[in-house]
Every structure is written in structure tokens, then in C-alpha cells.
């Protein structure tokens, strides 16, 4: 049975920090460690998440999404330092990572050979997310391992800004964490801006997403 957890029952002032969500984040992390799949808010659209290291959960996530097996899912990490566990980080771009993350961007790095390619890497690249949302960041830090994160919708369908928009998926999930409507403008549905940082002394914008202008400003210092 799917659990529903409201993250909007606190005051706006309280929601400015992660503290009011501590018990909900602990519950989310527990579900993920048990192989569960959850829906939760990010800094762009609602996402579906499971532990990346759990192959059964990852397979189930692809089935829920009706997603092609060769279309990899990004990894969500809790700190910038964790990125180097999964991808090769060029020393030159380290200074700008703090300007990009946390934020509505997916950064592509060359994956370490030791990373299991199934579902999370393609063409030797791995995508990394650190959404600028205190709830998912707290969950990621509690998990002590990368979370596989993708949008809460069927593949090729519009992404969702509130939980009602992906109601047909609820029955397939272990929990839905309702953070209310995300943003007030539809451009949020564009999702994260995807930036390829895998080539030394170079970068390439793969998808414009919702943060294109901010990303360009940050990259101008390179």
C-alpha cells in the first residue's frame, strides 16, 4: 500500500530549513534502503527515486516509467564531494561546482570503470544531480549512497509539478512525499539543464532545461 506524507503542513518559515522534515526524510531513506521506490519533490519537477545500488529496485523503476533500458537515469548525491565516487571530475571545473550545485542542473562526467553501467550510465557517461531542495538533499545524505532519480511520469509524457498529475503511478510506489506545487510557471517542466563536463577544458549544453541562463553565466568564468 502506498504511503502519503505531506511536507506542507508546517509554516512557510519552518519550511525554509530541513529540520521540520527530519522524520519524513528518515522514513524516505528507510524505504529506499528496503528497496522501495518513492516520489518526492525536487527543485524542478516531482521525481521518482530508488537506491542506485539496488538492481531490483532500479529495474522496477524502469518498468514504472516504461523507460528504455538504454536511457540511463541520473544519480542524486548529497554532497559535491561524493561526485568523484561516480565520475571523473576535471580539476579545472571543481571551483565552479559550488556555483552550479545544488541547483536545477544535471552534470555529465566520464564514469569510473568500476561503476555498474546498467541503468545509470551510457556511452561511459554518468549524470549527477544535487537538487536545490532541502528535503531530497536530506534524504540523499541519510542514504549514504547515490539515489537513482528520474521525473515522476511515464516516459515521453509531461513532467509533473504537483502529485495529482502523476496519480496513475501512485499504486506502483511505496510512498509519495507531497511538497505542494513546485513553482508557479510551466518552464519548470523543462526539467534540469544538462551539461556535459566530461571533456577536459570544455563543456557542452545537452539540454537547455529551466536553468540555461544561470548556467551560461556560471560557465562564463571558465
CATH number for the domain that contains residue 17: 3.90.870.10
- Chain segment 1-37, per-residue pLDDT in tens: 899 999 986 534 344 455 668 999 999 999 999 999 9
Sign of the Cα torsion 72, 153, 193, 103 reads negative
Please tell me the total count of domains within the chain: 1
Read off the pLDDT band of 173 (50, 70, 90). Answer: very high
Task: Please state, in angstroms and rounded to a whole number, the distance separating the CA atoms of residues 13 and 21.
Answer: 13
* Domain coverage including residue 208: 3-219
Between the alpha carbon of residue 168 and those of residues 7, 64, 152, 172, the distances in Å are 21, 10, 10, 8
pLDDT for res 160: 95
Q: Burial of 29 by CB count in 10 Å (0-12 exposed, 13-18 middle, 19+ buried)? A: buried
Q: What is the pLDDT of residues 73-119, one digit of tens each?
A: 999 999 999 999 999 999 888 888 999 999 999 999 999 987 766 67
Amino acid at each position: 500500500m502506498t504511503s502519503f506524507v505531506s511536507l506542507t503542513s508546517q509554516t512557510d518559515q519552518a519550511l525554509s530549513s530541513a529540520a521540520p522534515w527530519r522524520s519524513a526524510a528518515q522514513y524516505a531513506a528507510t524505504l529506499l534502503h528496503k528497496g522501495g521506490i518513492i516520489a518526492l519533490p525536487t527543485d524542478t519537477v516531482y521525481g521518482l527515486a530508488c537506491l542506485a545500488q539496488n538492481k531490483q529496485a532500479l529495474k522496477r523503476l524502469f518498468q514504472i516509467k516504461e523507460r528504455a533500458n538504454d536511457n540511463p537515469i541520473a544519480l542524486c548525491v548529497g554532497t559535491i564531494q561524493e561526485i568523484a565516487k561516480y565520475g571523473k571530475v576535471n580539476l579545472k571545473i571543481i571551483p565552479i561546482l559550488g556555483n552550479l550545485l545544488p541547483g536545477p542542473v544535471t552534470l555529465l562526467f566520464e564514469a569510473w570503470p568500476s561503476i555498474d553501467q546498467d541503468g545509470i550510465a551510457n556511452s561511459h557517461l554518468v549524470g549527477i544531480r544535487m537538487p536545490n531542495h532541502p528535503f531530497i538533499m536530506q534524504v540523499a545524505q541519510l542514504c549514504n549512497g547515490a539515489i537513482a532519480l528520474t521525473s515522476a511520469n511515464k516516459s515521453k509524457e509531461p513532467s509533473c509539478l504537483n502529485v495529482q498529475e502523476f496519480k496513475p503511478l501512485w499504486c506502483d510506489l511505496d510512498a509519495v512525499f507531497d511538497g505542494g506545487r513546485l513553482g508557479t510557471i510551466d518552464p519548470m517542466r523543462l526539467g534540469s539543464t544538462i551539461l556535459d563536463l566530461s571533456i577536459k577544458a570544455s563543456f557542452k549544453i545537452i539540454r537547455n532545461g529551466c536553468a540555461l541562463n544561470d548556467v551560461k553565466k556560471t560557465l562564463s568564468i571558465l
